[in-house]
Structures are given as C-alpha cells and as structure tokens.
Structure 1
Amino acid sequence: MSHQYLVDTHILLWVLNADSRLSDHHRDIFLAGEDVVVSAVSVAEIAIKKSLGKVTLTGNIVEILRSNGIPILSVNELHAARLEHLPLHHRDPFDRLLIAQAQIEGLTLVTADRHFSAYDVALV
C-alpha cells in the first residue's frame, strides 16, 4: 500500500515549474506514483499569488492538477475547526489550514517549510 501525501504550496509550485529547489526526495514522491493530493487551500493561495503577479504559472491551476490526475482535497468544517486547537507557532493561515487537513485526514505533509516541524503532523 502506498503512502498518502498532502503537498504544500511551495512544493507544488516547484514541481510544476521544475524548480531546482525541489529536493530529489520530494521529486521521487511524485515519480514513484505515491498517492498525492493537493489542498483547495493551495489552489486558493496559488490563484491569489498569480493574480498579484507573484507566481508565474501557465494555465489554470485546477486544470493543471486535473490533467495530471492529482486530486484536490476540499476544506471542510473539521479542518476549519481544528485551527482553534493549533498552537500559534506559525501565523500563515494557508499553512495552518494545510497542517489541520494533514492532521484530520492522516496525511503526511510534503514540505520544505521549517515552521511545520513545530506541529504534531507527519512530515517529509
């Protein structure tokens, strides 16, 4: 049985743009055919950053994910309610929602963000 991974926004952008900052280990998760999901939180963050000119991405993020067979994990009330119980080690609301989703869904979070290690969440 393969492992299930929730990819954070930076890793997703690095994969899509073949960015040199993407580690071999993180790249291998995609190449090995592991179960990878992307949060609707990352879709929103990318859309916002793209509209502000902070992200260069050709095409619509939802269509890109769909065409690559990558499922999108919706945000639900359990994910939102978990935010009340997360310590404030990190204030980025997008990251905090990703952490909450990973905790609730039992997913390993694929990230290069050092702030995530302060939380009770599986990381790679």
Structure 2
Amino acid sequence: MKLLLDSHVLLWLATDDPKLGPAVRTVIADGSSTVLASIASLWELTIKVGLGKLTLPSGFHRLLVENGLTILAIDVRHIERLDSLPRHHGDPFDRMLIAQAQADGLTLVSADRTIRLYDVPVLWS
C-alpha cells in the first residue's frame, strides 16, 4: 500500500501526539507500505510556522526523510486532477493531497472528515 500523510498526520507523527492512534501508527511504521509526504504539506506547515500559528520540532523536514518518508512532488497530472475535483473542500492544500492521491493511486491518511466526500481511499481509526 502507498500512503500519503496529511499535514496534521505528519505533525502528530513528529510530535508523538496521541491524536494519531495506535492502529494508524502501526500501519505507517510496519515497513510494508510506502509512506509519502507531499511537498504541499511541507509548504503548508512552513507557511503556518511563518505566520506564528505553529512550531515544528527542530530538524522536522530532515527527520521526515531520515525516517523513510518519500517526498512527493507536484506535477502536471496532479494539477489536471485538481482542476476536475468537486468543491467539497475549501482548503487548497487538502485539495492538492486529494488530487495527488487520486492521480497516483494512494491511500490518504487523514482525520479530516471532509476528505471522505471525495473518491479517494482514506485510512483513519
């Protein structure tokens, strides 16, 4: 399985937040899945840090790569898919994650209930 982690999941994973339940942690950590972080999520988190809304652990971006996460770039297929998405969700970063998951056949790991309105597999406990 290929997993695309939503921004809040990346943050909860890095900070060992209990909001990320044990079942989801196990699937992410068991080594049988490819785990991806979108560059869109890293961009979103960086913006929030710059606005003073969020603090990331020291070396956050480096830790993602060191812990085996693959960084997923945005390409033309993702932009084309984004253009065809219904407007259920207003968050442009979440919409990009949905487009990437659809275009690349990924399972989106997210607690965001609005994402379930889209035709995309979602993993959450």
Q: Shift in Å at residue 59 of structure 1?
A: 2.5
Q: Shift in Å at residue 29 of structure 1?
A: 1.6
Give the superposed CA RMSD: 1.1
Classify the secondary structure of the residue corresponding to 2:122. coil
Amino acid at match of 2:82: L
1: CA distance, partners of 2:57 / 2:15: 9
Q: Indicate the residue corresponding to 1:123 in structure 2.
A: 122
2: CA distance, partners of 1:88 / 1:66: 32
Q: Indicate the residue corresponding to 2:41 in structure 1.
A: 42
Which of structure 1's runs of 4+ aligned residues deviate more than 3 A?
A: none
2: CA distance, partners of 1:87 / 1:81: 13
Number of residues of Structure 1 aligned to a counterpart in Structure 2:
122
Cα pair 2:39 2:74 within 8 Å, conserved: yes
Q: Shift in Å at residue 116 of structure 1?
A: 0.4
2: CA distance, partners of 1:20 / 1:119: 26
Classify the secondary structure of the residue corresponding to 1:90. coil
Structure 2: any 5+ residue segments left out of the alignment?
Answer: none
Structure 1: any 5+ residue segments left out of the alignment?
Answer: none
Match among 3, 14, 17 for residue 16 of structure 1: 14
**When the two structures are superposed, what TM-score results if normalisation uses the length of structure 1?**
0.93
2: CA distance, partners of 1:28 / 1:112: 16
**When the two structures are superposed, what TM-score results if normalisation uses the length of structure 2?**
0.92
2: CA distance, partners of 1:49 / 1:109: 21
Q: Indicate the residue corresponding to 2:2 in structure 1.
A: 4
Classify the secondary structure of the residue corresponding to 1:21. coil
Superposition map of 1:51-66 within 5 A: 51-66=50-65
Amino acid at match of 2:96: L
